[in-house]
């Protein structure tokens, strides 16, 4: 009898233990992005972001391009965690200082949205969600598709220029795809996301080799329309490293014209042009060039998926008060002990 009671007791104990650890772990196990995550904690969050985007877009419609590229660079380096927003300090350089990221723009818009969100609901809305929502809102304003942006991302605690390993414009389609594959994206999704090059600019330094001395031939890239070569040579001769539109036709409109242009040999970046001819991508390019509705739907789906890459949720990371700086870290008990140990060693 006693034995049985003991058994029962220990069973109850272990069940309690299981339930207890389950409760402890559950925020981590079940935390995930959800539609309208801020419904209760900051009901106007999405409206506040949208309002800032509307105001900035009215002043500068090319902000759509800035945000799209910022979002891509954020998600492909340590996941969509706003690590791209961190400013370098005197002691530590951040992602922002890495090569291509120097030309990322749109930081002021994020800062303005954050300022208004902190006024409305302090420490609730992550910078990572602001980037994701603002990008979507700006795509819609430029004439592009509306797509789902589930929220609940948290901001990362690391931003390191050495983590920046983005594909370059002179890479082949196959080689650039390795980076996308490593992030769980398919080749078709890469082709769709590169459709974002329907808006925005490229600095001449990213493609000038194609205009005069392509791969040491002393001649322009034969896959570029000679009329475009002449035009870009002219544009690139003015000032120091000027920028030209990536989509040479409907430059500020989010449409499927990018695919139509590359099919006419009018792609500006080498990798963009190669999408039209590479056997792995050419048939999708041809479909998207003639089917804007399919481009919009599939681009939206690919953006929703990109926005989920390696996100921090639940209690991971933090909600930054200032998107350009990590929150000051309060000293923990362990920090204090380490301080004392350090003093003793000295």
Which of ligand HEM, ligand NAG, none does residue 147 bind to, with CB < 5 to 8 Å depending on kind? none
Which of ligand HEM, ligand NAG, none does residue 196 bind to, with CB < 5 to 8 Å depending on kind? ligand HEM
**Among residues 177 and 326, whose Cβ is nearest to ligand HEM?**
177
Element containing residue 53 per DSSP (H, E): helix 45-59
Q: Among residues 119, 116, 153, which one has the least CA distance to residue 133?
A: 153
Q: How many residues appear in the chain? A: 346
Per-residue binding letters, 53-92, with ligand NAG (x by CB under 6 A): ----------------------------------x-----
Q: Which of 13, 73, 197, 203 is catalytic?
A: 73
Shortest Cβ 178–ligand HEM spacing (Å): 10
Quote the Cα angle for 252-172-238, to 5°.
45
Q: How many Cβ atoms sit within 10 Å of the Cβ of residue 187?
A: 17
The DSSP annotation for 214-236 comes to GGGSSS--TTS-HHHHHHHHHHH
Which of ligand HEM, ligand NAG, none does residue 154 bind to, with CB < 5 to 8 Å depending on kind? none
Alpha carbons 197 and 174: distance in angstroms, whole number: 18
- 211, 220 contact by CB (below 8 A): yes
Shortest Cβ 336–ligand HEM spacing (Å): 45
DSSP conformational letter for 336: H
Shortest Cβ 249–ligand NAG spacing (Å): 4
CA-only gyration radius of the chain, Å: 24
Task: Please indicate whether residue 73 is annotated as part of the active site.
Answer: yes
Shortest Cβ 80–ligand HEM spacing (Å): 12
Binding site for ligand NAG (CB under 6 A): 87, 98-100, 161, 164, 166, 168, 249-250, 257, 322, 324-325
User: Which residues are identified as catalytic?
Assistant: 73
């Amino acid at each position: 009898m006693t034995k049985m009671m003991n058994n029962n007791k220990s069973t109850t104990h272990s069940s309690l233990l299981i339930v207890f650890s389950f409760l402890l772990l559950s925020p981590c196990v079940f935390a995930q992005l959800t539609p309208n995550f801020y419904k209760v904690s900051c009901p106007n969050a999405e409206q506040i972001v949208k309002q800032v985007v509307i105001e900035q877009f009215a002043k500068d419609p090319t902000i759509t391009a800035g945000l799209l590229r910022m979002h891509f660079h954020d998600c492909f380096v340590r996941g969509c965690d706003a690590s791209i927003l961190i400013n370098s300090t005197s002691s530590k350089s951040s992602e922002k200082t890495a090569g291509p990221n120097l030309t990322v723009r749109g930081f002021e818009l994020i800062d303005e949205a954050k300022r208004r969100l902190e006024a409305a609901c302090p420490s609730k809305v992550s910078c990572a969600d602001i980037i994701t929502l603002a990008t979507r809102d700006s795509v819609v304003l430029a004439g592009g598709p509306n797509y789902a942006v589930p929220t609940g991302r948290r901001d990362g605690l690391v931003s390191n220029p050495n983590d920046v390993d983005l594909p370059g414009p002179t890479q082949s389609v196959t080689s650039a795809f390795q980076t996308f594959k490593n992030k769980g994206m398919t080749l078709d999704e890469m082709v769709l996301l590169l459709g974002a090059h329907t808006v925005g600019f490229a600095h001449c330094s990213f493609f000038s080799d194609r205009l005069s001395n392509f791969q040491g031939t002393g001649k322009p890239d034969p896959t570029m329309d000679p009329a475009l070569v002449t035009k870009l040579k002219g544009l690139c001769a003015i000032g120091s490293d000027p920028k030209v539109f990536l989509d040479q036709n409907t430059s500020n409109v989010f449409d499927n014209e990018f695919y139509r242009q590359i099919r006419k040999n009018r792609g500006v970046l080498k990798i963009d042009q190669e999408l039209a001819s590479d056997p792995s991508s050419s048939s999708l390019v041809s479909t998207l060039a003639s089917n804007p509705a399919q481009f919009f739907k599939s681009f939206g789906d690919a953006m929703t998926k990109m926005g989920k890459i390696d996100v921090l949720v639940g209690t991971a990371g933090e909600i930054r008060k200032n998107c350009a700086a990590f929150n000051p870290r309060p000293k923990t008990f362990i920090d204090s002990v380490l301080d004392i140990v350090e003093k003793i060693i000295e």
